[in-house]
Amino acid sequence: MDAPKSDGSTTAVHWSSHRYLLTAAHFEYKVATEPKPVNLVGATSVDISGDPGWDEYCTIEIAWRDVEDLERRFYAYVKADEDSWWIDEIRVYNDGSERVGEIDDRIRYPDWVYFRDTKLGGKLGETFVEDNFAVFNSNGDYVRFELLQLSVFLPFSSEDSDNHAYNELYEKEGEEEEDWAQEHGHTHNEDEVWINEDDVEDIEVEEEWVDPEMLATGAPDISSSDVPEEPETLTAGALKSRLLIALPLVIIASAVLYLKIHTV
């Protein structure tokens, strides 16, 4: 079967991103709150993506705007074990909240509709093929494909995974980038910003600010003579020697004073 288009000109779909490839000649879903089935005829802003996950998990995520410019989504959650894979849950989304008053009140509120017992799966490495496939829930809602082919857990590259949190290559690429930076003379500054070590010498250092008035009047010159000396600390021996020298002088001075008093 030739690859169908997903450009809004047909109900056929060709969804491929990261870990899956889903093609069908016809796709539609119908929920109880909708007056008619929803498909991709007239669709715009079709976004085909998904989480590449790991060996036991990935997702299929499709979003688009329908002919009435309402947001629509189809999500499928894929799981696996050592031997098999299966779609654990399908969700469809109806958003009529942006055009309140212009559409039927039954579909003007956003809502998710769930399908859990999908019976869609197979052996690891095998493509699921079904001419007419449909899954229902307890409300009578359904999702239907014609000439469905689905392969999951396909290999993917880092080029296809620039916006998915579960891509383990992110950490490896970050380590490689840091190793390259260090090899080329780059390092982190205090703000965790990469700088080149060769440019460190060219970085201007901010000088300490000086008051212009202080420069004009001149700062006082403090010489060593203006610095007060530390008081001398006398030992007991030095103090005794000074008292012995001073004592005779005191006696002489006392004698002179006595003679002056008695000779007057």
pLDDT given for residue 167 in this prediction: 41
Residues 158 and 175 in one domain: no
SS3 content of the chain, % helix, strand, coil (to 5): 25, 35, 40
Residues 133 and 94 in one domain: yes
One-letter amino acid of 5? K
Report yes or no on 127 lying in a domain. Answer: yes
Q: Can you tell me whether residue 18 is helix, strand or coil?
A: coil
Give the global pTM: 0.56
- Structural element, H or E, at residue 128: strand 128-136
pLDDT tens per residue across span 51-106: 999 999 999 999 999 988 889 999 999 999 999 999 999 999 876 555 445 445 44
What does the alpha-carbon distance between residue 17 and residue 50 come to, in Å, rounded to a whole number?
A: 7
Residues 61 and 127 in one domain: yes
Residue with more model confidence, 242 or 14: 14
Residues 48 and 155 in one domain: yes
Residues 70 and 188 in one domain: no
pLDDT given for residue 105 in this prediction: 46
Q: Can you tell me whether residue 200 is helix, strand or coil?
A: helix
Report yes or no on 7 lying in a domain. Answer: no
Dihedral angle, C-alpha 65, 69, 71, 75, nearest 10 °: -30
pLDDT tens per residue across span 184-209: 555 555 554 555 555 555 555 556 66
Residues 74 and 184 in one domain: no
- Given the structure tokens 């009578």, which residue do they identify? 140
Report yes or no on 264 lying in a domain. Answer: no
Q: Residue 176: give the domain boundaries.
A: 170-201
CATH code of the domain containing 122: 2.40.160.110
Residues 153 and 197 in one domain: no
